[in-house]
Structure formats: C-alpha cells, structure tokens
Amino acid sequence: MIRLPVLRPRLPSAEQLLPYLRTLDICRIYTNHGPLLEKFQARVAAQLELHDGGVVCTSSGTSAIIGSILASAGRATQQRPLAIVPAFTFVATAAAVMQCGYEPYLADVDADSWMLDPSSFIHHPVLHKAGVVVPVAPFGRPVPQEPWFEFRSRTGIPVVIDGAASFDTILQAPAKYLGDIPLALSFHATKSFGIGEGGAIATQDTDLAARAAAALNFGFQGTRNSHSAGTNGKMSEYAAAVGLAELDGWKSKYTALSNVMALYRQSMETAQLSKLLLASPDISTSYALLACRSSDEAKSVERSFHQHNIDYRRWYGAGVQDHKYFSNFPRAHLASTSDVLSRVIGLPVAPDLSETEVERVVTAIREAISG
C-alpha cells in the first residue's frame, strides 16, 4: 500500500496565478500596500461582511496575533507581565505573546468546547497580572465574540482571538464571530483557505485595524517615523496574488473539502463509529478528527495506521506545556488539555481525498477499535 499523507494541500495553479502575476510586471510594486493587497483585503472584508479597513493582511497567522496584541494591549508591562493563553493550541499562540514581551500563562480549556471559558476567569488569581488574554479557536471551532466582549468590558483586559484555522467556520455566521475583539486568521498552506504563508486581522474596530497595520510596518503611521512598537509583518504583493487566486477558487475548494467530510461521516456511520468523528461544520474543513474514548484506544488506532501506512497528526501535540521551551512557564492544572489531546488524532485530509482513501482510513480505525 502506498503511503497516505495526512495532508495534501492544494493551492492555486500557475495558470490561475498568471493574470495576477502580470499585474506585478506592469505595476512594479512588490510590497508595501500595493494594488493586489488592496484588492485582496477588500475582497476578504466583503467575504467576512466587514467594512473596508476591517481587514489587515499579514505575513503569517502568527504576525496577525502579534499585530492584534500590539494594537490592543501593547507590549507587556511590569504591572501586567502575563498573557493568558490556552495550553490547548498550536505553539504559535504562545510564541506570538512572547514576541510582544509577555510571559505566557498556560490555562486549561473547557472539557466540552475545548476553549477558554471566560466566565471561569473573572475571579482568577492571575488576572490582575494579565495584560492580554488570547482565546483560541480549537481546530477552527469558532470563538463567539459576545462573552469575550463582556469579559473585556468587565475586566478592562484586552482580548485577541487566535482564530487561525477558523476562516471557513466564521463564514457560517460572521455577525456572531466578528466584532470589536480582533480575530487573527492564518492563510498557511495547511489551513482550508491557504496561500502558502500569510494571514489577516479581522475586526469591526477599524481604528484598531489601522494601529495593527502600523505595528506590522515598524510603527510607521503615514510617515517613515516610528510611533509605536512594531515589526515587519506585512503581506507582499506576491502573497496577495496567491490570495486573489485562492479566493477565485474558494467556493469550489470549500465544496470539495466539505464533500470529503461527508465521505468521512458516511463511512464512519456505516462502521458504527460516527460518535468518534469530529469534523465540519463543528470545526474547520482542514481537519477531520478522531476523538477516541481513551488514550489507549488512540494508541491502538495509531498502531493500526502505522500498519496500513496511513499518516496521521497530533496537531497540537500534548499541549504547549509539553514543548521543552514552554515547560517552565506558569500554568494551571491542565486536566482537560491533557485528557483531550491524549485521545484526539488528526486524520488525512485533502480536497481531492477519494472515497477509496477514506474507506482505507476508516477500515484501519475499525480494525483497531473492534480488534
């Protein structure tokens, strides 16, 4: 059996890129808010039902988090040195807060939603030392604005949502998932909407968006004079060209990914395992997750995948605290994070994953679980 990769991204073809690349030849503007970026930002804003100026494109999802923090909370202070981030995330969330001078405080997530629960934080003892809170959309499950808006109003602590993988899920209800709290998106090749490397900040607060854009361009505000903490996190015209072509094909890519998830659902149902599958529309179409009932069950599925030459991924590993560099930062008791991440396995995904390939995956799961 040939190896089945865990992810086979498909981005726009050379053919689809060519018209946009020709614009580059004509304009000879290659970065710094050229015509392709302006067009891409406006089209993303329209897609998200935001006003022009509500979307700031960035060089990565990580720089979108950094820009959002610098524009809302600024850099860490002596009085508020901590950033509260969930341990249940890709390590980029913790890396981003550190780039803004914060020490990450790794919090546990709710056992069911896999997200930070704002109501459990209102009286948290570390809150008075926190300069920013960064809730994460786990596997793209979108974070509602309202509870965090209320949290911010009550505590005065800025909030930035790491919704890196949630581009497709927030489109289900933009009004619920977009608002004054800035949302950081990733357009990494592995995400459903992918351009290679890139990202965006999306918010209804256009002043905040303008400050974020400045922070990601060395703190320049119109002139070449730095007014705030900053870095270079801009999106180039080349990346914007890929973004425009990806938008052109987005509808059909999303349909293809959704069809793959329907195949998983069908096949898991036939195997009477549908309760273990977590997929779109609950989470992003870039993930199909097997949520096993125990870590032992997960290990036996992994063994079966090895035997069948099927790739899988523990996308968030065992949690941020498990990374060597982050193992000594302050943290809560991470019961839910450890439990859930010991049971969840990322299954193969591609827009062109075939029915036969899905069957192959589900057969391997069935063998492990019934055998």
Does 136 interact with ligand PLP (rule: CB under 6 A)? yes
Q: Among all residues, whose Cβ is closest to ligand PLP? A: 61
Smallest distance, ligand PLP to C-beta of residue 67, A: 12
- Where does 241-297 show beta strands of DSSP type E? 277-278, 289-291
Burial 302-322 (b: 16+ CB within 10 A, else e): bebbeebebebbebbeebbbb
Exactly one of 182, 199, 243, 319 binds ligand PLP (CB under 6 A); that residue is 199
Alpha carbon distance 185, 191 (integer Å)? 10
Residues, the chain? 371
- Out of 73, 92, 97, 288, the only residue in the binding site for ligand PLP (CB under 6 A) is 92
- Which of 41, 68, 72, 93 forms a contact with ligand PLP (CB under 6 A)? 93
Q: 218: left (phi > 0), else alpha (psi -120 to 50), else beta? A: left
Contacting residue, 108, 162, 168, 237, with ligand PLP by CB under 6 A: 162
Instruction: Pick from 41, 169, 186, 337 the residue near ligand PLP by CB under 6 A.
Output: 186
Closer Cβ to ligand PLP, 90 or 254, answer by number: 90
Among residues 165 and 298, whose Cβ is nearest to ligand PLP?
Answer: 165
SS3 (DSSP) at 290: strand
Angle at 275 between CA 269 and CA 280, to 5 degrees: 85
**Cα separation values, 337 from 89, 103, 162, 235, 282, Å:** 9, 20, 17, 33, 19
How many CB atoms are located within 10 Å of the residue 269 CB?
13
The residues that bridge with 185 in the sheet, in sequence order, are 200
Q: Is 237 in the site for ligand PLP (CB under 6 A)?
A: no
Least CB distance to ligand PLP at residue 88 (A): 9
Q: How far is the CB of 71 from ligand PLP (least distance, A)?
A: 17
Site size toward ligand PLP, by CB under 6 A: 14
Secondary element (H or E) of residue 155:
helix 145-155
Q: How far is CA 179 from CA 51, 52, 193, 227, 368, in A?
A: 11, 14, 21, 26, 44
The yes or no reply on residue 85 touching ligand PLP (CB under 6 A) is: no
Closest distance of CB 185 from ligand PLP, Å = 8
Alpha carbon of 300 to those of 89, 297, 304: distances in Å?
A: 24, 5, 6
Q: Is 217 in the site for ligand PLP (CB under 6 A)?
A: no
21: CB partners within 8 A, 6+ apart: 241
For ligand PLP, give the closer residue by CB, 48 or 115: 115
200 sits near ligand PLP (criterion: CB under 6 A): no
CA distances to 86, 92, 150, 183, 234 from 118, in Å:
12, 21, 9, 16, 31
Select the residue interacting with ligand PLP from 90, 121, 264, 287 (CB under 6 A).
90
Among 41, 60, 280, 337, binds ligand PLP (CB under 6 A): 60
Of 41 and 89, which has the nearer Cβ to ligand PLP?
89
Q: Is 285 in the site for ligand PLP (CB under 6 A)?
A: no
Stretch touching ligand PLP by CB under 6 A, among 19-27, 162-170, 200-208, 258-266: 162-170
Per DSSP bridges, beta strands 344-346 and 289-291 are antiparallel
Considering only the stretches 60-68, 143-151, 261-269, 275-283, report the one whose residues sit in contact with ligand PLP under the rule CB under 6 A: 60-68
Contact segment (CB under 6 A) with ligand PLP among 54-62, 143-151, 236-244, 259-267 equals: 54-62
* Footprint on this chain of ligand PLP (rule: CB under 6 A): 60-62, 89-90, 92-93, 136, 162, 164-165, 186, 188, 199
